[in-house]
Structure 1
Amino acid sequence: MIVNEVSKPKNDFLSWLVVILFGIVIAFVCREFLFSPLIVKGASMMPTYESEDVIIVSKVSEIDRFDHVVFKAPYEDEYYIKRVIGLPGDSVEMKDDVLIINGEEYEEPYVNRNTENPFQRRVTENFTLEEITGEKVVPEGYLFVLGDNRLRSSDSRHYGLIPIDSLLGESKIRIYPLNHLKLFN
């Protein structure tokens, strides 16, 4: 068999070009439709997330109560990350710093509580969903979300219910800093 020495580098170049273009298309499809990396900004989700943490957001997850979701901010051109507290059909209430969903009390071990300050007895003011949103239960197509750092979080207490169609997705894993690598359920 005779091989033309001139065409071999040209064939190698075209092979590599096809592989690189295919890789770019696969990366674009994954980022656009399956998952996306994001950098957390701010302290509203401390201690779960620190500012500058890098997370991977799944765009295909089914959202459940207490998941961490990323959504388009209601009044800014940014994305927020918060914890889902109320799903469609849920009644939500906070009484004496105890979360009550559908009449059942829930502990919130993820909430940032400053136990060193004796004057800070509560981190979340009393409220009902109806007082905040005018709705007795979370309507279909919406979520009620709160930050874990309740004293420093702008969340559904301030801007109301979040449309489900504004969700980017669910935070599944923290990948940076490496010493805080964590997979979230």
Structure 2
Amino acid sequence: MKKKYSTFHTVLQFSMILLFVLFLRKFILTPIEVVGISMEPTYHESDRLWQTSLVTPKRFDIATFPSPRDGKRIVKRVIGLPGDTIRMENDQLYINDKKYDEPYLDEFKHALTDGMPLTADFTLANSAAGPATVVPKGKYFVLGDNRRKADDSRYFGFVDEDAIVGVVYFRYYPLNKIGVQ
């Protein structure tokens, strides 16, 4: 009798551990690989990140979702939340008519030598999100950090809240850039 209990107990413990690991893998430690250059200089091709699906994206969080173009998972920065107005003038971001600094772009802006802005002027109405003038309920407006090369909400429109897979919180590769994001 003791042998049966011991075997049952071991199987139960193993099952609980397996369920816990699967929970962690699905919701907390979900790996993602950066593909492309649209998030440079923040992330580069082949950077490896962990994301969580347990939090709702906030402004300037980096979120992952399936590309509206081909369904592959992509990484972009959340700029506009539901109810926001978004515009870019002279390389300055305005959200609800308030100026916002984007320090994560400073490295790229300082490296420009052609006299052109990193981000061309736009409004929601004259982007692919138009004719909307505010971010609708249940949607987000996202931008890549490499604004000249990014395929983002300016070109494919809003991202559905339900399409957001996760929010990036940790880079684990390359090892010299490991850390909380």
Question: 2:125 & 2:91 partners in 1: Cα distance?
Answer: 17
**Counterpart position of 2:122:** 127
Q: Give the superposed CA RMSD.
A: 2.3
Superposition deviation, residue 57 in structure 1:
0.5
Question: 2:109 & 2:93 partners in 1: Cα distance?
Answer: 18
TM-score normalised by structure 2 residue count: 0.87
Superposition deviation, residue 120 in structure 1:
4.0
Q: Which runs of 5+ in 2 are unaligned?
A: none
Residue of structure 2 aligned with 1:55, choices 49, 53, 59: 49
Is 1:177 aligned to residue 171 of structure 2? no
Superposition deviation, residue 165 in structure 1:
0.4
- Comparing 105-114 and 134-143, the one that deviates more: 105-114
Residue of structure 2 aligned with 1:101, choices 73, 83, 95: 95
Residue of structure 1 aligned with 2:110, choices 103, 108, 115: 115
| Amino acid across the alignment from 1:126 | D
Structure 2 contact 64–75 (Cα < 8 Å) conserved? yes
Question: 1:22 & 1:128 partners in 2: Cα distance?
Answer: 51
- Comparing 96-105 and 34-43, the one that deviates more: 34-43
- Which has the higher Rg, Structure 1 or Structure 2? 1
Residue by residue over 1:119-168, the C-alpha shift from the partner in whole angstroms, topping out at 9 and shown as x without a partner, is: 14311111111111211110000000000111111000110000010000
Question: 1:153 & 1:10 partners in 2: Cα distance?
Answer: 60
Superposition deviation, residue 118 in structure 1:
2.5
**Counterpart position of 1:45:** 39
Q: Which runs of 5+ in 1 are unaligned?
A: 1-7
Query: Structure 2 matches for 1:61-80, cutoff 5 A?
Result: 61-80=55-74
Is 1:166 aligned to residue 163 of structure 2? yes
Residue by residue over 1:37-88, the C-alpha shift from the partner in whole angstroms, topping out at 9 and shown as x without a partner, is: 1111111111111111111111011221101001111121211110011000
Question: 2:112 & 2:126 partners in 1: Cα distance?
Answer: 29
TM-score normalised by structure 1 residue count: 0.85
Question: 2:77 & 2:152 partners in 1: Cα distance?
Answer: 9
